[in-house]
């Protein structure tokens, strides 16, 4: 006798069980972010709509213990660091500076030092210079074996300010 | 009396089969969609959205590919620098693994399809036999 039909319903039940037993868990943990170096340049943004845009450079440290987030229904975490700020031309800007994938089984004690931003921190304009309030937050997408993909923001953020003048030196 | 009851059973059985087929078809379509969206998220790689701006109440996105560090502007329309909400087709919200595996197996191993259909035939045959033996 064939058992396709039973297979379908058993899988469905298992999948739903996976999902429902972890669906309402709180996936937030405290995060410690520290900024060690901040610099700003005004450069040609070849892909952008204007001649020159502000380009920020941030070096940071991140500490967090990800252990409490992982359970049997978490396949991996997708972490990303966001810079949030406001300028004259845009009320809210959110730029992803860096990201990391942490698989189940990887070291869950995050202790990263002197990390440079992975992606270009371009402003849509020239609003980074002298900007006193840029907020860095760490968030993550919890990728389950089965179920919802929640976006969680870690508690703990860091504010930084950009200098008044542009850096002219070549290196970073 | 034998023929009347028999016909009723067969008619009822066919409707149930029909509903089953409709549901099956719906499941195939939705599971294909879910697998596709799930893969977008799970292929071990980077964020698709890097910049979100709010300007005068309108929201602009700048996206990037999931396995590179350059933004997607080269892929946008000529002269387009930002995506708006209407350009975003959807977002991955959840993951339902293996829900389409039976469909995939039936595609790769057509013998499974015969098995499935003959399962239905067996059930139908058995149910009919049961009802006729009661009489």
- How far apart are the C-alpha atoms of A142 and A24, rounded to whole Å? 13
Q: Are the beta carbons of A149 and B93 closer than 8 angstroms?
A: yes
B54 touches chain A (CB under 8 A): yes
B112 neighbourhood in chain A, CB within 8 Å: 4
A149 neighbourhood in chain B, CB within 8 Å: 41, 92-95
Task: Please give the model's pTM, rounded to 2 decimal places.
Answer: 0.69
Cβ distance A148 to B119 less than 8 Å, yes or no, reads no
Q: Are the beta carbons of B37 and B66 closer than 8 angstroms?
A: no
Q: Where are the domains of chain B?
A: 1-45, 49-91, 97-134
Q: What is the pLDDT along chain A (172 residues), one digit of tens a residue?
A: 455 567 767 777 877 887 888 878 888 899 999 999 999 999 988 888 878 899 999 999 999 999 999 988 899 999 999 999 999 989 999 999 999 999 999 999 999 999 999 999 999 989 999 999 999 999 999 998 888 888 888 888 999 999 988 888 766 5
B81 touches chain A (CB under 8 A): yes
CATH 1.10.10 fits A25-160, yes or no: no
- How far apart are the C-alpha atoms of A7 and B102, rounded to whole Å? 9
Two tokens, residue A65: 């213990």
Cβ distance B81 to A118 less than 8 Å, yes or no, reads no
What are the backbone angles phi and psi of residue A134, rounded to the nearest 5°?
-105, 125
How would you classify the pairing of strands A92-103 and B49-55? antiparallel
Q: Are the beta carbons of B131 and B62 closer than 8 angstroms?
A: no
Total residues belonging to chain B: 135
Nearest to B99 among A15, A89, A90 (CB): A15
Two tokens, residue A155: 């508690």
């Amino acid at each position: 006798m064939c058992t396709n039909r039973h297979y379908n319903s058993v899988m469905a039940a298992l999948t739903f069980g996976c999902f429902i037993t972890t669906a309402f868990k709180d996936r937030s943990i405290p995060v410690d972010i520290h900024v060690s170096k901040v610099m700003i340049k005004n450069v040609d943004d070849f892909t952008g709509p204007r001649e020159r845009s502000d380009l920020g450079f941030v070096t940071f440290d991140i500490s967090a213990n990800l252990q409490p987030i992982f359970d049997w229904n978490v396949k991996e975490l997708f972490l990303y660091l966001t810079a949030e700020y406001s300028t004259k031309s845009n009320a809210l800007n959110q730029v992803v500076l860096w990201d990391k994938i942490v698989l189940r089984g990887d070291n869950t004690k995050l202790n990263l030092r002197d990390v440079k931003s992975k992606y270009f921190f371009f402003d849509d304009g020239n609003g980074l210079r002298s900007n006193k309030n840029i907020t860095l937050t760490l968030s993550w997408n919890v990728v389950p074996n089965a179920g919802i993909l929640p976006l969680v923001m870690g508690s703990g953020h860091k504010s930084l300010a950009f200098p008044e003048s542009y850096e002219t030196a070549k290196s970073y | 009396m034998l023929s009347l009851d028999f016909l009723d059973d067969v008619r009822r059985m066919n409707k149930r089969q029909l509903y089953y087929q409709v549901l099956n078809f719906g499941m195939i379509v939705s599971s294909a969609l879910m697998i596709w969206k799930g893969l977008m998220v799970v292929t071990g790689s980077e964020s698709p959205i890097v910049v979100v701006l709010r300007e005068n109440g309108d929201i602009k996105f700048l996206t990037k590919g999931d396995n590179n560090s350059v933004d997607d502007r080269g892929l946008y329309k000529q002269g387009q620098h930002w995506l708006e909400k209407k350009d975003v087709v959807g977002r991955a919200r959840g993951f339902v693994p293996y829900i389409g595996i039976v469909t995939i197996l039936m595609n790769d191993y057509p013998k499974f399809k015969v098995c499935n259909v003959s399962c239905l035939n067996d059930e139908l045959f058995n149910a009919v036999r049961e009802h006729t033996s009661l009489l």
